[in-house]
Every structure is written in structure tokens, then in C-alpha cells.
Amino acid sequence: AGHSVLVYPGGDQDDYRPWTERHHVDLRGHAGFVKLALRYQVPVVPVVSHGSHDAIFVLSRGDRLAHRLGVDRRLRVKVIPFVAGLPWGLVPAPVPTWPLPAKVTVRVCEPLQWDHGPDAAGDPGVVRHCYEEVLGRMQSNLDELVEAEPHPVLARLRDPARRGSRARGDRA
């Protein structure tokens, strides 16, 4: 219908990205959104967020474990992540832990639209180039968010206005 295509990292591979990779955009090579945008001649709007991966310490995606147990084939579950958190310590992600109070910032980036015709959706070179452009735009915007707020948990803890509104029972 001529609407934009939003691209936001997600799914099990991104949700359970290890804490050490929290500032890295990884779309795992999935370029279907580019093909869709090229085919229908609509813009791609990249969206990034910073802070949520600081709230929980994911130590491992557990993708090798998922493969060894066969759940990637039988249940289409590609990860069995392990997290470190209160109150249990080191646990598989389905066991609930208490997240740290992190300030989460979401940025909707400028749209990207390409002048290629609809047939470009079938050209692997064009698709790869557009994919890399989107990935670069997302990474540079995430880098800006990280530079502006390098410690989202500390930012949330030192923001007295947010703590005060929570203490009064107001919704944030």
C-alpha cells in the first residue's frame, strides 16, 4: 500500500545477544526487508535502541547447545541462552531474573529509499549493497546513542525525577 518498511533488530538471535556484543547491530544477514522495500519501491526506516541489553546479562546465546539438543530442527528454537541475574545467579533464560533498571532509548532513523527499479529485488549485488547501507546507518545511530549515554543503568539510577514518579505510583 506504499507504506514504509521498518527494520528493528529482534528475534531470538538479537534478544539474547551476549552482553559483550550489546553495542553491535547484527541482522544475521537477513535481507528480506530490503527485497520487500525494493520490490514495492518503498522506504526502509531503521530503528535502533540502547539500554535494554544492559538490563540483563546474557552470557551466551546457547546456539550450539540448541543445535546439539536438536531443538533448532524440531522446535525451530535456535538459542538456549544463559543469563546471570538475581535472584538465581546463572540460569537458562526461561527462568525469570530481575532486570536492572536501565534507561532505554529508542531512535527512529531517517528513511532510506533507493532509486533501483522493482527488479533490483532479485539482484543479489543490489540487495547486499542496500543491506549494508541500512546496517551502517543503524550502527552509526546506535554508536551515537551509546556515546550520549554510555551507562544506561547508572543513568536510570541517578535520574531523580524518574525515581520520584515511581515512588508516587505514577506511570512512567
Please state the pTM of the whole predicted model.
0.84
Q: Per residue in 57-112, pLDDT tens?
A: 999 999 899 899 998 888 888 889 999 999 999 999 889 999 999 999 999 999 99
Q: Are 64 and 72 in contact (CB under 8 A)?
A: no
Cα 164 to Cα 49: distance, rounded to the nearest angstrom: 24
- Give the Å distances, CA to CA, from 126 to 45, 71, 112: 18, 35, 14
